[in-house]
């Protein structure tokens, strides 16, 4: 899937406790997590007395372009956030980490995920006098925390987290502590590491590599880890019926060099390619190519298992700025051609297997397959290392509307015809679950199956509201 495919990444969080250069390391950690959100970035730090904050719209490099923006963030505790807005619009008030002062001191929060009952909670809070500064669901958590009448911070936190439904991987900063929280379903990843006595948390372990921190373990689903001058302690939220980690993190979202849900993404993605080659082979093909970059590893796995040569048939231009102006309809293929180029010397006369990780709208992929044909490929066989995406995600992933999901209302044969390929095959849900690491935790697969694990009624109405459309075709299975 290319970045023009229609799925947007969501958010990345980072936190560090006990390092004299906390803000600087957070800044570097956010760099590694840039793929999880490009709309805003920010850091909040604390020196024990005062809390410092800098947030802005844009990439990490833009927001912290002036080194003084990092230098001014004093103290040995910091949290950071890269945002893609799955709820709330792109505006500075919605940038995270959000910070407030309440009777217990300062409080800042960075959130990855999506609360499915935030509208109800927000309405209840507003009815009882709360005034919101942003349109995000993350602010609801701050309000719940600040309003708790409990005297101990951990009791305030447990009370605030209790009514939340949906996905939340959080890092929280107070004047003198860092807290990491993962919701009981474990939808989004969150891992813990260490760097010379400092404790770090990040959405993905790739953030640890850049700052030379060691990965320790994942934050468990439902676990709350508090780090302060007394060391670290774990508390637990009531368990969910089922742990449902987002399987799409392995398929597409997380970086291949990260370790999430206890396993390396690269290893799992390669296995997805191998299982795909077993389940949906492409006999008589000559070469295997990927849609760079997210499909590279799955394509390698496919080629290895199929005994075919893996080659670079598409080159991706990494230097497209965010300000790229889309051309007129007359040049409608231009945006794909400026991003990808097909290599005639590799493709000409060959029967090509193209491995991609997923299909959302299919519009980009159609242009890509045309590009491959134009470069002289004799046959194009498309293999997808995930099942057809048929349902929206309510847990923090911004899929387009169901109407726009090409597999929602078309058969595989119809999608194949639309994409103008010689064959099209998807990985089945059963084989997908065979390829991802097993253990005590399960996976969410509901964008493929519609079997939503957490009460979606409110999320569904929010979905309709936010899309402001007449999408009435959703037929939820549960
Ligand atoms: S619906 Fe899909 S994208 Fe969303 S959490 Fe579940 S598996 Fe992940």
For residue 171, list its beta bridge partners.
Answer: 110, 180
For the chain, domain boundaries: 12-241, 260-318+326-467
Complete DSSP assignment for 183-203: -TT--S--EEEEETTEEEEES
What is the per-residue pLDDT for 136? Answer: 87
Does residue 393 have an active-site annotation?
no
Quick check: pTM over 0.85?
yes
Task: For residue 98, give both structure tokens.
Answer: 């959000």
CATH number for the domain running over 12-241: 3.60.20.10
Q: What's the per-residue H, E or C state across 379-407?
A: EEEEEECCCCCCCCCCCCCECCCHHHCCC
**CB-based contact 355:383 (threshold 8 Å):** yes
CA distances from 16 to 45, 51, 82, 106, 234 (A): 9, 14, 15, 17, 16
Distance 395 CA to ligand 1 centre (A): 6
Q: Among the atoms of ligand 1, which is closest to the Cα of residue 249?
A: 8
Distance 122 CA to ligand 1 centre (A): 24
Distance 253 CA to ligand 1 centre (A): 11
Burial 243-264 (b: 16+ CB within 10 A, else e): bbbbbbbbbbbbbbebbbbebb
Residue whose entry in the numeric block shows the structure tokens 């927001």: 63
- Tell me the C-alpha distance between 39 and 415, whole Å: 32
Name every protein residue with a CB atom under 6 angstroms from any ligand 1 atom.
187, 246-248, 393, 395, 397, 444-447
What is the per-residue pLDDT for 90? Answer: 66
- Tell me the C-alpha distance between 221 and 224, whole Å: 9
What is the per-residue pLDDT for 477? Answer: 33
- Tell me the C-alpha distance between 190 and 169, whole Å: 6
Q: Is the peptide bond before 97 cis (omega within 30 degrees of 0)?
A: yes
Cα angle 402, 426, 403; round to 5 = 10
What is the per-residue pLDDT for 85? Answer: 61
Q: Return the number of other C-beta atoms located less than 10 Å from residue 328's C-beta.
A: 7
Q: Does residue 304 sit in helix, strand or coil?
A: helix
- Indicate the top mutation candidate among 114, 386, 444, 456 to test ligand 1's pocket, ranked by most ligand atoms within 8 A of CB: 444
**CB-based contact 115:164 (threshold 8 Å):** yes
**CB-based contact 255:198 (threshold 8 Å):** no
Q: Does residue 168 sit in helix, strand or coil?
A: coil
Residue-by-residue pLDDT tens, the chain, 478 positions? 644 444 444 799 999 999 999 999 999 999 999 999 989 999 999 999 999 999 999 999 999 999 999 999 999 999 999 998 655 566 888 899 999 999 999 999 999 999 989 889 999 999 999 899 888 888 999 999 999 999 999 999 999 999 999 999 999 999 999 999 999 999 999 999 999 999 999 999 999 999 999 999 999 999 999 999 999 999 999 999 999 999 999 999 999 999 999 899 999 999 999 999 999 999 999 999 999 988 999 999 999 999 999 999 999 887 765 444 555 655 656 777 788 899 999 999 999 999 999 999 999 899 999 999 999 999 999 999 999 999 989 888 877 678 889 999 999 999 999 999 999 999 999 999 999 998 768 999 999 999 887 766 666 666 656 655 444 334 333 2
What is the per-residue pLDDT for 128? Answer: 92
3-state helix, strand, coil in the chain (%, to 5): 30, 25, 45
Q: Among the atoms of ligand 1, which is closest to the Cα of residue 443?
A: 7
For residue 355, list its beta bridge partners.
Answer: 290, 383
Contacts of 43 by beta carbon, 8 Å cutoff, 6+ apart? 23, 26, 27, 30, 53, 54, 55, 64, 70, 73, 78, 79, 80, 81, 97
11, 191, 393, 444: the active-site residue: 11
pLDDT tens digits, one per residue of 75-102: 999 999 999 865 556 688 889 999 999 9
pLDDT tens digits, one per residue of 349-404: 999 999 999 999 999 899 999 999 999 999 999 999 999 999 989 888 877 678 88
Q: Among the atoms of ligand 1, which is closest to the Cα of residue 246?
A: 8
CA distances from 207 to 199, 212, 376, 451 (A): 13, 9, 41, 32
The closest of 107, 89, 108 to 40, measured between CA atoms, is: 89
Distance 247 CA to ligand 1 centre (A): 7
What is the per-residue pLDDT for 316? Answer: 87
Distance 242 CA to ligand 1 centre (A): 14
- Indicate the top mutation candidate among 6, 182, 185, 247 to test ligand 1's pocket, ranked by most ligand atoms within 8 A of CB: 247
CATH number for the domain running over 260-318+326-467: 3.40.50.2020
What is the per-residue pLDDT for 452? Answer: 85
The closest of 271, 272, 424, 269 to 353, measured between CA atoms, is: 424
- Tell me the C-alpha distance between 218 and 222, whole Å: 11
What is the per-residue pLDDT for 469? Answer: 45
The closest of 225, 173, 193 to 53, measured between CA atoms, is: 173
Contacts of 21 by beta carbon, 8 Å cutoff, 6+ apart? none
Q: Does residue 240 sit in helix, strand or coil?
A: coil
Distance 358 CA to ligand 1 centre (A): 13
Nearest protein Cα to ligand 1, atom 5: 246
- Indicate the top mutation candidate among 169, 393, 396, 408 to test ligand 1's pocket, ranked by most ligand atoms within 8 A of CB: 393
What is the per-residue pLDDT for 478? Answer: 29
């Amino acid at each position: 899937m290319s970045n023009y495919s229609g799925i947007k990444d969501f958010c990345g969080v980072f936190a560090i406790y006990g390092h004299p250069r906390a803000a600087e390391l957070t800044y570097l950690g956010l760099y590694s997590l840039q793929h999880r959100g490009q709309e805003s970035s920010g850091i909040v730090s604390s020196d024990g007395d005062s809390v410092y904050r800098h947030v802005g719209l844009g990439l990490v490099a833009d927001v912290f372009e002036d080194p003084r923006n990092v230098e001014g963030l004093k103290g040995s505790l910091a949290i950071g956030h890269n945002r893609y807005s799955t709820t709330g619009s792109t505006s500075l008030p919605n940038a995270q980490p959000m910070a407030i002062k309440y009777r217990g001191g300062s409080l800042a929060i960075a959130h990855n995920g999506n609360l499915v009952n935030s509208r109800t909670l927000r309405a209840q809070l507003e009815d009882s006098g709360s005034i919101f500064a942003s349109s995000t669901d993350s602010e609801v958590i701050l309000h719940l925390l600040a309003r708790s009448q409990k005297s101990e911070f951990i009791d305030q936190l447990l009370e605030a987290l209790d009514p939340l439904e949906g996905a939340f991987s959080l890092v929280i900063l107070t004047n003198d502590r860092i807290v990491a929280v993962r919701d009981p379903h474990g939808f989004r990843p969150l891992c813990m590491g260490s760097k010379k006595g400092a404790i770090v948390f990040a959405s993905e372990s790739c953030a640890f590599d850049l700052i030379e921190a060691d990965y320790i373990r994942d934050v468990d689903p439902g676990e709350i880890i508090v780090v302060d001058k007394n060391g670290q302690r774990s508390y637990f939220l009531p368990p969910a019926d089922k742990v449902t980690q987002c399987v799409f993190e392995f398929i597409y979202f997380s970086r291949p060099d990260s370790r999430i849900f206890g396993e390396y993404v690269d290893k799992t993605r390669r296995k997805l390619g191998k299982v795909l080659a077993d389940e949906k082979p492409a006999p008589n093909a000559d070469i295997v190519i990927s849609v760079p970059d997210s499909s590279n590893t799955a394509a390698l796995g496919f080629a290895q298992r199929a005994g075919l040569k893996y080659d670079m048939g598409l080159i991706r231009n990494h230097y497209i700025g965010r300000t790229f102006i889309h051309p007129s309809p007359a040049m409608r293929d231009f945006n794909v051609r400026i991003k990808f180029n097909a290599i005639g010397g590799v493709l000409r006369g060959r029967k090509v297997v193209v491995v991609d990780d997923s299909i959302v709208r299919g519009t980009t992929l159609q242009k890509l397959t045309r590009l491959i044909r134009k470069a002289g490929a004799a046959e194009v066989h498309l293999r997808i290392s995930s099942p057809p995406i048929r349902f929206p995600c309510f847990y923090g992933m911004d899929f387009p509307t169901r109407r726009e999901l090409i597999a929602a209302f078309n058969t595989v044969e119809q999608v194949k015809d639309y994409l103008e390929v010689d064959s099209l095959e998807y990985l089945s849900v059963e084989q997908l679950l065979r390829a991802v690491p097993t253990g005590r935790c399960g996976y969410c697969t509901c964008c493929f199956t519609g079997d939503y694990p957490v009460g979606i009624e409110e999320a569904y109405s929010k979905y309709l509201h936010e899309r402001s459309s007449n999408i009435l075709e959703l037929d939820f299975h549960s």
